[in-house]
Amino acid sequence: GRSAAVSVLLLTAWSLVGCYALVPVTTATPVTVSRTVRVVLTAAGTVSLQQALGSDVKEIEGIVTRSNADTLIFAVAETLTGANQRFVSHGDTVAVARPLVESMSVQQYSQKRSIGLVLGIALLVVLTIVGITTGTSGVSGTGQPAPPQP
């Protein structure tokens, strides 16, 4: 009935969202615009970007707005300091020269995680439907147990 339809709609919505993972790539990898990137800065990178990002920033995560062989320019979403303090940013744009990047990861669709999510939700839906069905099978509309069947 209605609960099954809602469950199917939720399952479909979750399957469309999918799961993403940050995957390590070389620092020279071309990065497309609108892609989420996380970079770990070299010590020189931390010093160089201190004015723009604050002191002791070791990692930057954000969405690439421009990229070329020498520089990544992105809207910063989050930074991580050497003391493991996370700071959320509101899209401040920063240009990072690639020689200042120690390592880099890009966000990619993860089929394995997405399939696991969909299967987990499907199992939850099935268990919910079975629970609803078995929970109401022995009760009449008056709340009294149904008479035994011959």
Q: Is 43 exposed, middle or buried (0-12, 13-18, 19+ CB in 10 A)?
A: exposed
Mean pLDDT of 99-127: 76
pLDDT for 3 equals: 58
The helix/strand/coil state of 51 is helix
Q: When comparing pLDDT for 13 and 125, which is higher?
A: 125
pLDDT per position as a tens digit, 119-146: 666 677 777 777 777 765 555 555 555 5
Q: Model confidence over 18-68: pLDDT tens digits?
A: 677 888 999 999 898 989 999 999 999 999 999 999 999 999 999 999 999
Report the alpha-carbon distance of residue 123 to residue 145 in Å, rounded. 29
**Confidence tier at 69 by pLDDT (50, 70, 90):** very high
What Cα–Cα distance (Å) separates residue 45 from each residue in 13, 87, 93, 112?
41, 18, 16, 34
Measured CA to CA, the distance from residue 35 to residue 62 in angstroms comes to 8
Neighbours of 39 (CB within 10 A): 25
Q: What is the pTM of this model?
A: 0.62
Instruction: Give the per-residue pLDDT at 105.
Output: 94
Other C-beta atoms closer than 10 Å to the C-beta of 100 total 20
